[in-house]
Structure 1
Amino acid sequence: MPGMTHHGDALLSIGDFSRYARISVRMLRHYDERGLLAPADVDPYTGYRRYAPEQLRLAGRIRSLRDAGCGIPLIAELLPLFQESPATLHDRLEAHVAGLDEAAEQLAAQRRLARSLIAGIDAALPVVAERTFAPARVLALQRTVACYPAEGELWSDLRDLLASPAEVDPSLFGDLTGATYFDAEYRDDDVEMAIWREYHGPFTPRRGFEIVDLPARRVAWTTHRGEFETIGRATQALGEWIAQHGRTQVGPVFTVYVVGPGRVSDPEQWVTEVNIPIA
């Protein structure tokens, strides 16, 4: 490090330092260029680099941060915190872990989608039919959420409501469970939706929940099997059917969860009916 003085025989050659630190010579030179790990001594004539033994601890921190997914700029920010503020370092690393968790979820979703694409290469398009959707009295919660996957937040609120027997009677729920999506176009964020369950008991509006009477509707519908990331195949088939049959969409898309995450955890067993009101 700049300002450090060492007897020549106390310094390590770059080769030895590389071996002990388990960092390649090429990367040691790179870290020097980026200001992360400067040699303790550089021969002004030969350019030969030597390192102090105590720099091995710094090298180990760099290697660990690198292997934990930290880039050079983040490593440069975090290294001083080991000495200056371990508490701040702890918080910054926790934030990094949260970012890794989010990236892992996105990667897992991409992997599932790739698998579904493989499975669907030779699959036929979903079968679309027309039917009258019967009227229903439901307990509903409508809200604008960050994105479509954030629908789970609404179901979590419903679970919290169900945990209060004084507010709703679980025995008075029917089998019909679904969600309605009110935006006229697909949105990447700020999605208005409602989740609902058939309910046959009295209820005073609270916590954002209210009783809604869903009217009878003529719908084009199809069945989607599997995880929700691939439900686009169902809406594509419905859109094609509506156009080919000269029909018009007259209401928001809604889904019925025949078998959903609340019943089974395996996405391959999920069954969702996708409905579009038509005229």
Structure 2
Amino acid sequence: MLGDVDEDLLPIGQFAQLARLSVKQLRHYDEIGLLRPACVDAATGYRYYRAAQARTALSIGLLRSLDVPLPVVGQVLSGSQDALESVRDSLEAELARRRRALASLERVMADGLPATQVRIVTVPAYRVALIRERAGGPSDIARATSAAASRLVAGMYRAADAGAGPHLAHADAAQTGDGSSPAHADARWSSGQASARAADTHPGGTAVATGGPQLIGLFPLDLSDAFDVAVALVLHDGWEAGGEARVDVLPGGTFAAATHIGPYDQISLTAHAVLAWCAERRHPMRGPIREVYVSDPARTPPDELITHLMIPLEEES
């Protein structure tokens, strides 16, 4: 037993009311070392707290109401000055994702479910420079795509003129919609050479023939907890891969293709239309899904950006 109980000690139920927390929460915070009771009855295990601990308990409640994870709460209570920066960044990213989801929802409300024109195209194989990046899940696709693109373009150069290779204007990739589709990469590319004009480009790859740069995002058809995304750059005559990029061949074949015109963060709507088109016609699909970036977003308004979305189809036996 406690013997002579300190008059300043409060039983857990009374302290819970004072701190505006539940008894269950207080027990959990004790178990993880976040808020220890002032005293524990050795015989009964009953917890007692001091009124002075209420400020800490209320601070925990405040931080939790702001969606601060418990480990970060502990860092804040221990005096870490920058512990909340990652939480702020996470909340800002979630807010941006919600805004993009709202924009897609408003487009569906205005125009209905997407019914994009889909066609079957056949494309040749291309020699490409390619970088892969591991994504920790659907919500990590944007970061992984942006990282891969940055590393890829930084290592590209033209054999005859090392200073004339493509460069990344900005790659502020951002997740679109609810993260359910792999066609999400808001990866905004530019090049040291002029991008191929939309009128001269189609899903079959006319941009290659015109000599314009062509960046292609590659995403799994089925998403899991962790997976690879990749960004490929078509190697024209005289272009070489450097840095971390490896030279590979992007297979040709038959694709269900559609052209997305508009912001990158709404490509998932076009992906939905292509997937639905394939499902209705029972076309067996395989990955990876391709996003062929045609427009230069440094010079093109978001509503006029052109991206070809292409889903490989299984060859008929």
Q: What TM-score, normalized by structure 2, do the two folds share?
A: 0.54
Q: Who is 1:115 aligned against?
A: 103
Structure 1 partner of 2:213: 175
Q: Please give the residue correspondences for 1:58-207 in structure 2 after superposition, counting only pairs within 5 Å.
A: 69=66, 77=74, 81=78, 89-90=80-81, 94-121=82-109, 122-123=111-112, 124-146=114-136, 147-149=140-142, 150-162=144-156, 166=162, 169-170=165-166, 174-181=212-219, 183-203=220-240, 206-207=242-243
Deviation >6 Å, runs of 4+ = 31-35, 70-76
Contact kept, 8 Å, 2:125 with 2:251, in 1: the verdict is yes
How far is 1:209 from its partner?
Answer: 1.2
- In 1, are the aligned partners of 2:127 and 2:250 still within 8 Å (CA)? yes
* CA apart distance, 1:233: 2.4
Alignment partners' CA distance in 1, 2:69 and 2:286: 54
Gaps of 5+ in 2: 1-5, 9-16, 27-34, 36-50, 167-191, 194-210
Which residue in the other structure is 2:281 paired with? 245
Task: Confirm whether residue 256 of structure 1 aligns to residue 306 of structure 2.
Answer: no
Structure with the higher helix share, 1 or 2? 1
TM-score (normalizing by structure 1): 0.60
Contact 1:180 1:252 in 2 (8 A): yes
Structure 1 gap ranges (5+)? 5-27, 36-50, 52-57
- Residues 221 and 287, structure 2, Cα contact 8 Å, conserved in 1: no
> Which letter maps to 2:259?
T
Structure 1 residues 31 and 273: CA distance shift in structure 2, 3 A: same
Contact 1:145 1:192 in 2 (8 A): yes
CA contact (8 A) 2:218 2:291 kept: yes
Aligned twin of 1:219: 255
User: How far off is 1:160 after superposition?
Assistant: 2.6
Percent identity at matched positions? 19
Please identify the structure whose Cα radius of gyration is greater: 1
Report the aligned-residue RMSD.
4.4
1:209-253 Cα distance to aligned partner (Å, 9 max, x none): 133343443221012234444433222222222233343335532
Render the CA deviation track for 1:171-220: whole Å, top value 9, x for unaligned.
Answer: 78733221222x452234223434324432253x6533133343443221
Structure 2 contact 215–234 (Cα < 8 Å) conserved? yes
Aligned residues: 226
